[in-house]
């Protein structure tokens, strides 16, 4: 391989990390929501809300970071609808999650018309991390990214630490495995579930906001294009572990970057087939992951999708 | 203090009151959403009502939109009853449209019309059923989460359709637009109401509702579906083949969604294109829930939501109100509906006063 090939591969993997970041935030968020026993299938809806509000605030204030925070908040607030319906009112979580997706797509379509095709002028700038960015291959791929990508690394590592090494993590996992026993131990099941559902919403919003603020800084109707569902599949692929989520997210980011690259250089494969690739591979991966999860006897949090009722014995 | 007290049995009236109140809440929040945009919600709802139910023609368009909803929701009810979450009617609808269009586009226009239409109906049903059997088998044998698999298959179906429409199935004389050549007359479903687009598909829908009702009420298969939905473990102990039941129910559900796709291309559009409204597949989920999984109620709810969709696509043009408002209203209806299910199982007690009385008694003592 000559030098230009190296450059192409590095550029491709660089793009893979960026595209993967859109998935990494929501995947980590949903891992924690599910760990607490709540299944929120509305990731797509929360992402599109984050994408829309993130874009609008970034456009109006010309500050991408403010936009990112607004996107997170939008995702978080949206998730509270699901939290109220499924935790307090103990409604069906599958239907509530779907309703959340319909709501997000409808809301952004209804209010988003006048923003369509507008472009952001200021996007997050790239920052080279001293020393780390000098590492061959790794440096230019992972450490010449923007601040939001670095935020996602921190989230993955810190959240892994919280999950496995802190009391908060122990309580969270206990609530997801056996809510009644945790309640008896003095853990507030409702508060735990509310908070982690909200957290999942914040991160889904972050993923959506990253899409419209950094990755593709414009607004299009429905532009999350099913990434919320891919993130849900990645939760299973990651076996509910935030560090595994990184592997999954970059793998899919890579496929996305690759299909865009192939289209850009004009290969003869029709674009509709290339566009299909991430969804097809997600399907294959979720089948394989489900089989591995079964063989290894790893299971989803036992209380996943089961509402908790303190008064019922 | 607010307390939930378990009900012995659910009053039947709640089954009517809750959906009605949910719809009202949906319309109310929808009105707020419209007002926030600076548009008069009363004008919008008035125009929507006029656009959906005011004349013979507008009502016929409501029926046109209701037809795929009736077909799809009838099938979804079967699988939802057994707690199998088929979110894939969107993709099954597309596959039904593709499979049936193949015969319309590539078979001779001289095939007798009844023969051609029968083949297209069967092809549409087979296409939808095949697309539904994939996630059913993945779930039945390997426990692959069906919500995610059916959703991903929706996207895959959409890209297959795009691949065909930008590829070999495109009409060379379409000036580059992703349209097939028009269906010949022998591939067009006959219309049943003069001067409207209401076609034989509506009759298919009515038949589907009756068949699903019959399956649920009168057959062993329907009984097993109910048991599996209530308690899969008990069903296994009783010797029921859960995997087989899932696959059969999904095949029927997919076949009906596929038939809806066939009706759309053969009865309404008369060609294959990318925009064939597969979103009916998602709306039908709402229909199924609003009707508490009752196929006959679902037919009426389909007319209501069909009217909402048909009216909204008109105000989108006349009043520039984006179609997304319908999704906002629909999602709020769903939230209200499933959030209210707690009232079917529990009675709300406000026992603040009682406590005080008890305290007073204690004072006396």
Would you list the DSSP string of A251-265? HHHHHHHHHHHHHHT
* Dihedral sign computed on CA atoms, order B127, B130, B136, B139: negative
Residues of B in contact with A92 (CB under 8 A): 338, 341
The Cα-based distances of B270 to B183, B186, B202 in angstroms read 5, 11, 16
The H or E element containing residue B214 is: helix B200-218
DSSP state of B2: E
* Residue of B265, B281, B277 whose CA lies nearest to B103: B265
Whether residue B51 is contained in a domain is answered as no
Whether residue A183 is contained in a domain is answered as yes
Q: Cβ of B314 under 8 Å from any chain A Cβ?
A: no
Q: Are B181 and B43 in contact (CB under 8 A)?
A: no
The chain A residue lying nearest B156, using CA atoms, is A276
What global pTM score does this model have? 0.91
Length of chain B in residues, anyone? 365
Whether residue A244 is contained in a domain is answered as yes
* Residue of A214, A211, A276, A251 whose CA lies nearest to A17: A251
Phi and psi torsions of B350, nearest 5° = -105, 95
Whether residue A28 is contained in a domain is answered as yes
pLDDT at A228: 95
Same-domain check for residues B104 and B250: yes
Buried b (16+ CB within 10 A) or exposed e, B128-147: bbbbbbbbbebbbeeebbbb
| Tokens 């991430």, located at residue | A278
What is the least distance, in Å, from the CA of A49 to any CA of chain B? 13
Q: Are B112 and B156 in contact (CB under 8 A)?
A: no
**Other beta carbons less than 10 A from residue A18's beta carbon:** 22
Phi and psi torsions of B273, nearest 5° = -150, 175
Task: Report the distance separating Cα B294 and Cα B100, nearest Å.
Answer: 29
Task: Report the distance separating Cα A22 and Cα A210, nearest Å.
Answer: 6
Residue of A34, A42, A103, A281 to mutate when probing chain B, most B C-beta within 10 A:
A103
Whether residue B47 is contained in a domain is answered as no
Phi and psi torsions of A126, nearest 5° = -80, 140
Structurally, chain B folds into a number of domains equal to: 2
**Prediction ipTM score:** 0.92
Minimum-distance CB partner of B338 among A91, A275, A290: A91
Residues of A in contact with B281 (CB under 8 A): none
Residues of B in contact with A110 (CB under 8 A): 33, 37, 322, 324-325, 327-328
What is the least distance, in Å, from the CA of B194 to any CA of chain A? 35
Q: Are A215 and A19 in contact (CB under 8 A)?
A: yes
Could you tell me the two tokens for A32? 């924690």
pLDDT at B271: 93
Domain that holds residue B208: 58-319
| Tokens 């995702």, located at residue | A75
CA atoms within 13 A on the CB side of B219: 13
Cβ–Cβ of A85/B326 closer than 8 Å? no
Q: Cβ of B166 under 8 Å from any chain A Cβ?
A: yes
CATH of the domain at A193: 1.10.3470
CATH of the domain at B172: 1.10.3470
Residue of B84, B85, B155, B345 to mutate when probing chain A, most A C-beta within 10 A:
B155
Same-domain check for residues B98 and B174: yes
The chain B residue lying nearest A39, using CA atoms, is B147
Could you tell me the two tokens for B361? 């008694």
| Tokens 């889904």, located at residue | A204
Same-domain check for residues B232 and B213: yes
Minimum-distance CB partner of A276 among B147, B156, B340: B156
Q: Cβ of B294 under 8 Å from any chain A Cβ?
A: no
pLDDT at A300: 80
Cβ–Cβ of B148/A229 closer than 8 Å? yes
DSSP codes of every residue in A35-80: HTT---TTHHHHHHHHHHHHHHHHHHHS-HHHHHHHHHHHHHHHHH
Q: Are B90 and B154 in contact (CB under 8 A)?
A: yes
Indicate the Cα dihedral angle A55, A59, A62, A64, nearest 10°.
10
Maximum CA extent, chain B: 97
What is the least distance, in Å, from the CA of B156 to any CA of chain A? 6
Same-domain check for residues B180 and B310: yes
Same-domain check for residues B126 and B178: yes
Whether residue A266 is contained in a domain is answered as yes
Domain that holds residue A247: 3-295
pLDDT at B350: 67
Residues of A in contact with B153 (CB under 8 A): 283
Task: Report the distance separating Cα B301 and Cα B295, nearest Å.
Answer: 10
Structurally, chain A folds into a number of domains equal to: 1
Cβ–Cβ of B159/A291 closer than 8 Å? no
**Other beta carbons less than 10 A from residue B56's beta carbon:** 10
Note which residues in 51-90 of chain B have CB less than 8 A from chain A: 85, 87
Whether residue A230 is contained in a domain is answered as yes
Cβ–Cβ of B324/A290 closer than 8 Å? no
pLDDT at B293: 93
Whether residue B360 is contained in a domain is answered as yes
Minimum-distance CB partner of B327 among A109, A270, A312: A109
Same-domain check for residues B231 and B343: no
Alpha-carbon Rg for chain A, nearest whole angstrom, is 20
Task: Report the distance separating Cα B354 and Cα B362, nearest Å.
Answer: 13
Residues of B in contact with A230 (CB under 8 A): 152
Task: Report the distance separating Cα A248 and Cα A62, nearest Å.
Answer: 32
Low-confidence ranges of chain B (pLDDT < 70): 1-3, 350-365
Could you tell me the two tokens for A130? 């001293």
Q: Cβ of A41 under 8 Å from any chain B Cβ?
A: yes
The Cα-based distances of A137 to A6, A20, B255 in angstroms read 9, 17, 51
Q: Are B298 and B74 in contact (CB under 8 A)?
A: yes
Q: Cβ of A297 under 8 Å from any chain B Cβ?
A: no
* Dihedral sign computed on CA atoms, order B227, B233, B238, B243: positive
Same-domain check for residues B22 and B67: no
Cβ–Cβ of A106/B151 closer than 8 Å? no
Task: Report the distance separating Cα B20 and Cα B23, nearest Å.
Answer: 5
Q: Are B34 and B321 in contact (CB under 8 A)?
A: yes
- Contacts (Cβ under 8 Å, ≥6 apart) of A142: A17, A132, A153
Whether residue B53 is contained in a domain is answered as no
- Contacts (Cβ under 8 Å, ≥6 apart) of B220: none
The chain B residue lying nearest A234, using CA atoms, is B148
The two beta strands, B346-350 and B2-6, are: antiparallel
Q: Cβ of A310 under 8 Å from any chain B Cβ?
A: no
Could you tell me the two tokens for A24? 């990494």
pLDDT at A163: 94
Whether residue A305 is contained in a domain is answered as no
Same-domain check for residues B18 and B121: no
DSSP state of B110: T
Residue of B139, B316, B333, B338 to mutate when probing chain A, most A C-beta within 10 A:
B338
Residue of A42, A94, A102 to mutate when probing chain B, most B C-beta within 10 A:
A102
DSSP codes of every residue in chain A: --HHHHHHHHHHHHHHHHHHHHHHHHHHHHHHHHHTT---TTHHHHHHHHHHHHHHHHHHHS-HHHHHHHHHHHHHHHHHHHHIIIIIS---HHHHHHHHHHHHHHHHHHHHGGGTT-B-S--PPB-PPTTGGGSTTHHHHHSSSBHHHHHHHHHHHHHHHHHHHSHHHHHHHHHHH-HHHHHHTT--HHHHHHHHHHHHHHHHHHHHHHIIIIIS-B--TTTTTTHHHHHHHHHHHTTT-HHHHHHHHHHHHHHHHHHHHHHHTT-SS-HHHHHHHHHHHHHHHHHHHHHHHHHTT----TTTTPPP-TT--
Note which residues in 24-53 of chain B have CB less than 8 A from chain A: 33, 37
The CA-based angle B156-B159-B162, given to 5 degrees, is 155
The chain B residue lying nearest A41, using CA atoms, is B147
pLDDT at B361: 46
Same-domain check for residues B358 and B257: no
Same-domain check for residues B339 and B265: no
Q: pLDDT tens digits, residue range A230-268?
A: 999 999 889 999 999 999 999 999 998 888 888 888 777
* Dihedral sign computed on CA atoms, order A168, A172, A174, A178: positive
DSSP state of B273: B
Q: Cβ of A51 under 8 Å from any chain B Cβ?
A: no
Q: Cβ of A141 under 8 Å from any chain B Cβ?
A: no
Cβ–Cβ of A102/B331 closer than 8 Å? yes
Residues of B in contact with A279 (CB under 8 A): 152, 155-156, 159
DSSP codes of every residue in B151-209: HHHHHHHHHHHHHHHTTTTS-TTSTT-SBPPPPPGGGSPPBSSTTS--BHHHHHHHHHH
* Residue of A49, A76, A77, A55 whose CA lies nearest to A67: A55
Same-domain check for residues B287 and B336: no
Task: Report the distance separating Cα A99 and Cα B90, nearest Å.
Answer: 16
Bridge partners, B350 (sequence order): B2
Whether residue A312 is contained in a domain is answered as no
What is the least distance, in Å, from the CA of A41 to any CA of chain B? 9
Phi and psi torsions of A57, nearest 5° = -65, -40
pLDDT string in tens for chain A (313-residue length): 566 778 888 889 999 999 999 999 999 999 999 999 999 999 999 999 999 999 999 999 999 999 999 999 999 999 999 999 999 999 999 999 999 999 999 999 999 999 998 999 888 988 988 888 889 888 888 998 999 999 999 999 999 999 999 999 999 999 999 898 888 888 999 999 999 999 999 999 999 999 999 999 999 999 999 999 999 999 988 999 999 999 999 999 999 888 888 888 877 778 888 889 889 999 998 999 888 888 877 778 888 888 888 777 5
Q: Cβ of A282 under 8 Å from any chain B Cβ?
A: yes
Same-domain check for residues B233 and B327: no
Q: Cβ of B109 under 8 Å from any chain A Cβ?
A: no
Whether residue A73 is contained in a domain is answered as yes
Q: Cβ of A8 under 8 Å from any chain B Cβ?
A: no
């Amino acid at each position: 391989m000559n030098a230009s090939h190296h450059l192409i591969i590095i550029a491709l993997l660089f793009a893979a990390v960026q595209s993967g970041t859109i998935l990494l935030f929501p995947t980590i968020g949903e891992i924690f929501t599910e760990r607490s026993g709540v299944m929120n299938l509305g990731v797509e809806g929360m992402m599109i809300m984050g994408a829309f509000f993130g874009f609008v605030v970034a456009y109006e204030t010309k500050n991408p970071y403010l936009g990112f925070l607004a996107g997170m908040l939008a995702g978080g607030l949206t998730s509270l609808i699901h939290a109220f319906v499924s935790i307090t009112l103990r409604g069906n979580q599958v239907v509530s999650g779907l309703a959340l997706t319909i709501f997000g797509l409808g809301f952004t379509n209804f209010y988003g018309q006048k923003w369509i095709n507008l472009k952001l002028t200021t996007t997050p700038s790239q920052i080279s991390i001293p020393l780390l960015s000098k590492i061959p291959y790794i440096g230019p791929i992972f450490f010449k990214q923007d601040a939001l990508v670095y935020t996602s690394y921190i989230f993955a590592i810190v959240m892994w630490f919280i999950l496995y090494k802190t009391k908060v993590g122990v309580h969270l996992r206990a609530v997801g495995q056996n809510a009644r026993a945790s309640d008896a131990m003095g853990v507030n099941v409702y508060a735990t579930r509310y908070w982690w559902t909200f957290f999942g919403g914040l991160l889904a919003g972050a993923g959506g906001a990253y899409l419209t603020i950094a990755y593709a800084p414009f607004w299009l109707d429905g532009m999350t294009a099913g990434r919320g569902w891919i993130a849900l599949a990645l939760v299973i692929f990651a076996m509910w572990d935030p560090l595994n989520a990184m592997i999954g997210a970059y793998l899919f980011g890579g496929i996305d970057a690759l299909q865009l690259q192939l289209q850009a250089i004009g290969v003869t494969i029709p674009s509709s087939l290339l566009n299909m690739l991430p969804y097809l591979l997600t399907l294959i991966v979720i089948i394989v992951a489900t089989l591995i999860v079964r063989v290894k006897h790893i299971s989803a949090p036992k209380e996943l999708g089961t509402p908790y009722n303190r008064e019922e014995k | 203090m607010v307390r939930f007290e378990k009900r012995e049995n659910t009053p039947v009236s709640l089954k009517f009151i809750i959906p009605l109140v949910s719809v009202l809440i949906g319309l109310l929040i929808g009105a707020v959403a419209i007002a926030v945009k600076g548009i008069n919600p009363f004008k919008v709802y008035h125009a929507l009502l006029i656009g959906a139910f005011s004349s013979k023609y507008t009502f016929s368009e409501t029926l046109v939109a209701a037809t795929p909803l009736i077909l799809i929701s009838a099938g979804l009810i079967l699988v939802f009853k057994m707690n199998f979450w088929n979110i894939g009617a969107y993709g099954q609808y597309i596959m039904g449209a593709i499979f049936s269009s193949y015969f319309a586009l590539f078979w001779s226009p001289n095939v007798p019309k009844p023969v051609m239409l029968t083949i297209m109906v069967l092809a549409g049903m087979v296409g939808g059923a095949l697309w539904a059997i994939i996630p059913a088998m993945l779930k039945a044998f390997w426990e692959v989460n069906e919500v995610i698999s059916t959703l991903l298959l929706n996207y895959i179906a959409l890209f297959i359709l795009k691949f065909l429409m930008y590829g070999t199935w495109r009409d060379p004389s379409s000036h580059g637009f992703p349209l097939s050549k028009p269906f010949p007359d022998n591939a067009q479903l006959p219309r049943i109401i003069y001067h409207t687009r209401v076609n034989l598909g509506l009759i298919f829908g009515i038949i589907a509702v009756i068949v699903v009702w019959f399956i649920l009420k009168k057959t062993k298969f329907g009984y097993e579906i109910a048991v599996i939905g209530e308690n899969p473990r008990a069903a296994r102990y009783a010797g029921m083949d859960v995997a087989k039941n899932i696959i059969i129910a999904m095949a029927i559900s997919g076949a009906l969604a596929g038939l809806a796709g066939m009706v759309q291309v053969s009865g309404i559009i008369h060609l294959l294109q990318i925009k064939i409204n597969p979103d009916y597949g998602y709306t039908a989920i709402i229909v199924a829930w609003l009707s508490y999984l009752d196929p006959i109620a679902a037919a009426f709810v389909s007319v209501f939501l069909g009217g909402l969709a048909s009216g909204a696509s008109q105000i989108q043009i006349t009043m520039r109100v984006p179609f997304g408002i319908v999704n906002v209203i629909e999602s709020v209806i769903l939230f209200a509906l499933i959030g209210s299910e707690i009232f079917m199982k529990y009675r709300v007690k406000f026992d603040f006063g009682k406590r005080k009385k008890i305290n007073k008694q204690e004072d006396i003592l």
